[in-house]
Structure 1
Amino acid sequence: MAPGLDEEHRTFIEVIDRKSDHLQRLVDDLLDLARLETGRVALDARTVWLSRLIHQAVDDHRAVATAKNITLTTELAHYLHAHADPMRLRQVLDNLLSNAIKYTPPGGTVTVTAGSPGDSDDHPGHHAAVTVADTGIGIPAGEYEQLFSRFFRASTAKEAGIKGTGLGLTITKAIVDAHGGAITAAPREGGGTVFTVCLPVDPQTSP
């Protein structure tokens, strides 16, 4: 910032900077979404140690959760793997964790669980399921079907004055779809929201 500016002009420049950053993120998200939806993104899918990737993502979000007095916990199967692009899968985890923390009031809880549905020693599961559950402000029942639509924002988020572009979940779904996976959202018993991501364990399977 140029020296010698008065306080009013400094404030104007700071506002312009914030708006410019917001617009740049919006453009980047739209371009990313367009590439995903048209199949122009080549996934570098491989066998990923899913449990470790989740632990890393949770650890990176822990400081923000702690600052907001939100308890962040995990319940993970240790030897859980998935067939996925680790960078893109990390983007999915970051989006879901960021949203859960953002929409959960202080004193709440965000819990991440992961496992293979129907897994056993004799019949290992073909899919890995990851859930991110929060005790947040929740989503009205009639709005769940629109949740992954671009630019859609739940009425509860708008009423609470929580800012967002309405693209994060759309991009998250596009990434999961590109992996041959599935993502769903449902109300959490007692309040809040639960997101579930189901991913193939190997290239030959899909949810």
Structure 2
Amino acid sequence: MNFPRSIRWKLQLWYGGLLLLLLAGFGFTAYQLESARQLRHIDEELQQRLPMLVDSQRPIPGDRDRRQFRLSTRDALLFDQTGNESFYYVVWLKHGEPVTRSTTAPEDVPQPKAGDPPNRLRGDVRESFLFPGPGDCVLVGRSIAPDLAGLRQFAWWLCAVGVTVFAAGLAGGGWLIIKALRPIQTISAAAQSIATGDLSQRIQTQDTESELGQLATVLNTTFARLEASFSRQSRFTADAAHELRTPLAVILLQSQNGLAADHLTEEQREAFLATQRAAQRMRRLIESLLTLARLDSGELSDNRAPCELNRVAEETVRLLQPLAAEHGASLTTELAPAHCVGNADELAQVVTNLVGNALVHNRSGVSVHVKVLIEDQHAVLTVRDTGQGIAPADISHLFERFYRVEKARTTAGGHTGLGLAITQAIVTAHGGMIVAESRVGEGTVMTVRLPLALRGADST
């Protein structure tokens, strides 16, 4: 799976990002609301204590400008408590000096100014004040360190809940995404099987009313039409090849009879020979078309049995040694035991086509090396030549029917351009794969990989 371009991961990233944003917004809002609630509660407690301080001021008899401060015993208990949540008070009169303060009040409490907000925050201290008369000020405060510690604990609790919800949300979202994309994976798998040649594959779906179910129905209809069209094409190819066999046999017979006649002129003999060569080339083309038609319909590979790929290659190479000598080529082998399940005749045709191409379509003196080995639970056949190589632009078309690499290889020898297409069809029918690698001026390597036979299977 390609991580950056995967739809699944893109949806997961978008979903995770949105969920994280929502959780962060919820946590921030919850923290701010809790902080405001606690601060409002503290302010209410402070405001409740201010009136009793104002009521505790009494004028001094005989002195209109001076007042005395006397707090009742019950009210004094509210300010004499010790601990982190103890309240304190400070009272200023007109001359600006504190007239009285509680024992718990800090020494550096600044006197508020007229027009200041009635509540203020100094570090971890919260204070409220009012001005009962011109120049007079009454202030009540207390430490909010315990409240700040509680808010920190609340923040950590929000983080822990957020991480838990985020992890659970990612897991649940991932499960939902996988379930939602499963029909797309089914469609992709079916399409990939069809692309490799299995036109009988169909997309299995239970919900035909959903959008993906309707898409699967349309694709199944398209695949069925494609299979029917391909079957008609294969039948037409096979029928046409069969029909051409009889007139072609007549042409070959007549040309042979004509060549056997006496008193032929040189011109007549050359005409009969040309006719015979053209008929033989047409016969090879017809046989190739019939082979492809049978491979497309799955008729050829039904008779399979355990066989030794190294022996198949050894016998085939032995038969091709005269062809190598004719082209002045060196044909060598390196064959390790490798058992696979298949049709020995078809596998021999694979070796013949690959080695024959390497010998015929290269210049004289080429070296061709055939190797069989076991690699990654596969029987591997490689045919390596030291010829002129194939251009990169031609490699991708190499297994197409009737395709020839005109600039790099000669078309002499009456070849039909179907050899590699037949080779690929045979390898695919055996559950294997074939890969071509080439560098211009260095040569070409054909690699065939076939599944190994199960242990204990008898070889032929």
Shared fold (TM-score, shorter chain, > 0.5): yes
Match among 341, 359, 381 for residue 83 of structure 1: 341
Q: Is the 8 A contact 2:384 2:443 kept in 1?
A: yes
Unmatched tracts of structure 2, length 5 or more: 1-258, 455-460
Picking from 388, 391, 396, the partner of 1:145 is: 396
**92, 105, 108: which one pairs with 2:363?**
105
Match of 2:195 in 1: none
Look up the match of 1:37: 296
CA distance in 2, matches of 1:196, 1:22: 28
The amino acid of 1:98's aligned partner reads G
Name the residue aligned to 2:275: 16
Task: For 1:43-82, list aligned pairs within 5 A.
Answer: 43-77=302-336, 79-82=337-340
**Is contact 2:370-2:384 (8 Å) kept?**
yes
Root-mean-square deviation (CA), in Å?
1.9
Asked whether the 8 Å contact 2:368–2:386 carries over to 1, the reply is yes
The answer on whether the counterparts of 2:301 and 2:430 sit within 8 Å (CA) in structure 1 is no
Higher relative contact order (Cα pairs below 8 Å, separated by 6+ residues): 1
Counterpart pick for 2:436 among 176, 185, 201: 185
- Taking structure 1 as the reference length, what is the TM-score of the superposition? 0.87
Give secondary structure in 2 for the equivalent of 1:169. helix
CA spacing shift, 1:92–1:161, aligned 2, 3 Å:
closer
**Deviation of 1:188 (Å):** 5.1
* Aligned AA (2:263): G
Maintained 8 Å contact 1:188/1:194: no
Larger Rg: 2
The percent identity for this pair of structures is 39
CA contact (8 A) 2:301 2:342 kept: no
Q: Which residue, 362, 375, 396 being the options, matches 1:117?
A: 375
Report the Cα distance in structure 1 between the residues aligned to 2:394 and 2:362, rounded to whole angstroms. Answer: 18
SS at match of 1:155: coil
Contact 2:327/2:360 (<8 A) preserved: no
Q: Would you say 1:132 and 2:379 are equivalent positions?
A: no
Question: Can you list the C-alpha shifts for 1:12-43, whole angstroms capped at 9, x where unaligned?
Answer: 01000000111111111111101101223243
> Take 2:343 and 2:299, find their aligned partners in 1: how far apart are those partners?
15
Count of aligned residue pairs for this structure pair: 195
